[in-house]
Amino acid sequence: MKEGGARVDLGGGLRQYMAMADECVQELWISKSRIVAVLLQYDDYFQHDLWQLVSLPQTFALLLFLNAYQLFLAGARMALSGHPAAIFPLMRTALESASYGLLLEQQPALTEIWSNRHRSDADKRACRKTFTFDNAIAGVRDKSPDIHRLAKEAYEAAIDYGAHPNLKGVFWHIAVDNDRPDRMTAVSHTSLYSADHQETTRGLCACLDYGFLIISIIMLSSPTVSGKLTAELQTLNDAKEAAIAVYKSSTGDAVSGTP
């Protein structure tokens, strides 16, 4: 950009976006990425083992848990596409859905408030007041202070890095070039990264962090937490940490799952 004029180039549009996203997915599927392998391990646990260990929740809680899983899948799809910024709105809502399910499982009487949200303005206000993330996740604190802390941190990180159009979420993917031969300043905003790009890996690591927390919240909704459940949760966390450690050792970068 220079005084007196500017030019906007949005690239190849939807067709190019989809083609590049699909290419990234295919490259990651055939890669030997340990992070992708653990992501598949988490998905398998969601589908099978999780429901063998937890008491079957009441209907509305179960529906919210399933919604959290579906949003996790959508977030994983975006991460595998090489679009890390797009996972955070999905993972934030997935955390909310899991925590609301936990709240309904622990306090079934609140089901009426949740299900009546759209009946009137008064019902909407009551639902908004009752169903906040802080209120919903509070039920985890006594059972696992560490999971409670991590869930709160991950929720705030999701807001910072894409769930809201904040400075971090937008400018993390901005590059400025002042050295063009035409004396213009180029401002580039990147949405898609290649399969081997650091930002794609960061997005996949974030999916593991959020997936672990969603599984943990669902587990902790059970009236009792067995030793077997705790051990399996530890196994999932160990797999996640080992996968992230491989990335750290190969790049020297610090990864916490969020940018």
Phi, psi for residue 8 in degrees, rounded to 5:
-115, 125
The whole-angstrom separation of Cα 107 and Cα 233 is: 24
The model's confidence at residue 1, banded by pLDDT at 50, 70 and 90, is: very low
- Over the stretch 164-221, which tens digit does the pLDDT of each residue have? 888 887 877 878 877 777 777 777 878 899 999 999 999 999 999 999 999 999 999 8
The whole-angstrom separation of Cα 140 and Cα 146 is: 9
Domain ranges of the chain: 29-159+193-251
106 HSE (CA, 13 A, CB side): 22
Supply the pTM of this predicted model: 0.88
In angstroms, the first-to-last Cα distance of the chain is: 29
Indicate the DSSP class of residue 175. Answer: E
The model's confidence at residue 40, banded by pLDDT at 50, 70 and 90, is: very high
| Residue-level pLDDT at 259 | 39
- Over the stretch 216-235, which tens digit does the pLDDT of each residue have? 999 998 877 778 878 988 99
Give yes or no for a contact between 184 and 15, defined as CB atoms under 8 angstroms apart: no
Give yes or no for a contact between 163 and 153, defined as CB atoms under 8 angstroms apart: no
Closest CA to 106 of 129, 136, 134, 79: 136
The model's confidence at residue 163, banded by pLDDT at 50, 70 and 90, is: confident
Give yes or no for a contact between 56 and 89, defined as CB atoms under 8 angstroms apart: no
The answer, yes or no, to whether residue 258 has pLDDT greater than 50, is no
Element at 174 (helix H, strand E): strand 174-177
Closest CA to 71 of 95, 49, 48, 39: 95
| β 186-189/174-177 pair status | antiparallel
Residues 6+ apart with CB under 8 A from 203: 78, 79, 82, 83, 84, 87
**CA 134, 167, 163, 83: dihedral to nearest 10 degrees?**
-140
The whole-angstrom separation of Cα 54 and Cα 42 is: 16
User: Among the residues of the chain, which ranges form H helices?
Assistant: 13-30, 34-44, 50-53, 59-80, 87-106, 111-115, 121-130, 133-141, 145-158, 167-171, 198-220, 227-251
The whole-angstrom separation of Cα 186 and Cα 175 is: 8
Give yes or no for a contact between 64 and 97, defined as CB atoms under 8 angstroms apart: yes
> What is the C-alpha radius of gyration for the chain, rounded to an integer number of angstroms?
21
